[in-house]
Amino acid sequence: MSVRRRCGVLCAALLVGLAIVGARPARPPLLDFEYEAAQKEVGRLRMLAERLSKQNVLYQLHLADQHKLQLMETAREVNDALTLLQQGDATVGVPRPPTPALAEQVDGVREAWVPLEQLVMASPYEYLRRSRQFMARRDDRGDPLRILQFDRMASSLLVEVDRLSELYRDACLEDEYPNCPELAASGLPQMLVERLVKESVMLFAGLEEKVSVKQVEATRDAFASQLDSFDDIDAVKRATAPERGATGEHVRAILQDLDESWQRLVREVTLVIRGQAEEANLRRALAVQQIVVDDLQRLRVAVEQAVGAGLQ
């Protein structure tokens, strides 16, 4: 074979190889702290989706002095989280979506959020008018405040957020980091405690078509299971090890505070389940729920400071 022919064959093979490589570019792996930061934002969206629905129920039923401004503030937080996940921010460690599938799913979350945002920002008259755009004809009777429709839309948003979390978990596992399943559960306890209060309010308001006693009990038990599992999380074990001294005692004290605030919330929810609650019980439940959420945040920060590991 001539030198020119051999060069032609080799060049052709090289071009084919480059075409293959160009068609399937290798994805640079994210760092572990980038997965943690991304899943934190996804977890925040998971919690905010339930918080929106809870706040809307309270606002529409004129319970517990819920104001429109609180809904609008939650909407701002949703937009902030979505912007972070779409654009990334190196200063807080959140990366841009590393794959087309992740970028597409972030867009899917945004798409599910748009109609909810329109309702949140609408005036009372506009709320009713706009809600008809997102409602099947058969649903356009009863429920004049469209509470249940808003809740269904918030549930659809949550489904998209969960899919995004799963995609980040799969990419994390592909990059062979050890705590991917733990990161994928980010925001789950906070979401469950928001849901518990929302369902309790619905039960109190007589919206049995949406929520039942069994459903409220199932949400209560799901959060209790999350609480029981904290002691088995590797980061918590390391944070509370005897050699941690005062640092470990601090984490254990927060765990105790969390258990106590949770038990207080359970007492208020139990009155709703038994049909013995008054609006004052809902106000106390809302106040204690915020303490539970604050305790969860305190626990996460304390564990991170103790061992440098993420706990969501």
Percent of the chain scoring above 90 in pLDDT: 61
Amino acid, single-letter form, for residue 241:
A
Q: Find the mean pLDDT for residues 9-25.
A: 40
Q: Is pLDDT above 70 for 312?
A: no
Q: Is pLDDT above 60 for 36?
A: yes
Count of C-beta atoms within a 10 Å radius of residue 159: 13
Residues in CB range of 102: below 8 A, 6 or more apart: 164, 167, 168, 171
Best CA proximity match to 174, nearest among 84, 99, 95: 99
Q: Is pLDDT above 50 for 299?
A: yes
Of 136 and 50, more confident: 50
Q: Which residues of 61-77 are buried (b: 16+ CB within 10 A; e: fewer)?
A: bebbebebebbeebbee
Q: What average pLDDT does the structure give for the chain?
A: 85
Of 101 and 152, more confident: 101
Is the CB of residue 146 less than 8 Å from the CB of residue 128? Answer: yes
Of 312 and 149, more confident: 149
pLDDT tens track for 45-83: 999 999 999 999 998 888 877 788 999 999 999 999 999
Q: Which residues of 222-237 are buried (b: 16+ CB within 10 A; e: fewer)?
A: bbeebbeebeebebbe
Residues in CB range of 212: below 8 A, 6 or more apart: 203
Q: What is the pLDDT of residue 308?
A: 65
pLDDT band at 243 (very low <50, low <70, confident <90, very high): confident
pLDDT band at 290 (very low <50, low <70, confident <90, very high): very high
* pTM reported for the whole predicted model: 0.85
Q: Is pLDDT above 70 for 275?
A: yes
pLDDT band at 123 (very low <50, low <70, confident <90, very high): confident
Q: What is the pLDDT of residue 99?
A: 93
Is the CB of residue 36 less than 8 Å from the CB of residue 28? Answer: no
Best CA proximity match to 96, nearest among 160, 163, 37, 179: 37
Residues in CB range of 308: below 8 A, 6 or more apart: none
Q: Find the mean pLDDT for residues 274-283.
A: 93
Residues in CB range of 90: below 8 A, 6 or more apart: none
pLDDT tens track for 200-236: 999 998 886 778 999 999 999 999 999 999 988 888 8
Q: Quote the tokens at residue 209.
A: 């078509």
Q: What is the pLDDT of residue 11?
A: 44
Q: What is the pLDDT of residue 53?
A: 94
Dist CA 32 CA 9 (whole Å): 43
pLDDT band at 127 (very low <50, low <70, confident <90, very high): confident
Q: Is pLDDT above 80 for 244?
A: yes
Q: Is pLDDT above 80 for 144?
A: no
Is the CB of residue 97 less than 8 Å from the CB of residue 110? Answer: no
Best CA proximity match to 34, nearest among 105, 96, 100, 81: 96
Q: What is the pLDDT of residue 310?
A: 46
Q: What is the pLDDT of residue 18?
A: 35
Query: Which of the listed CATH numbers 3.40.33, 1.10.10, 2.60.40, 1.20.120 matches domain 188-312?
Result: 1.20.120
Q: What is the pLDDT of residue 14?
A: 39
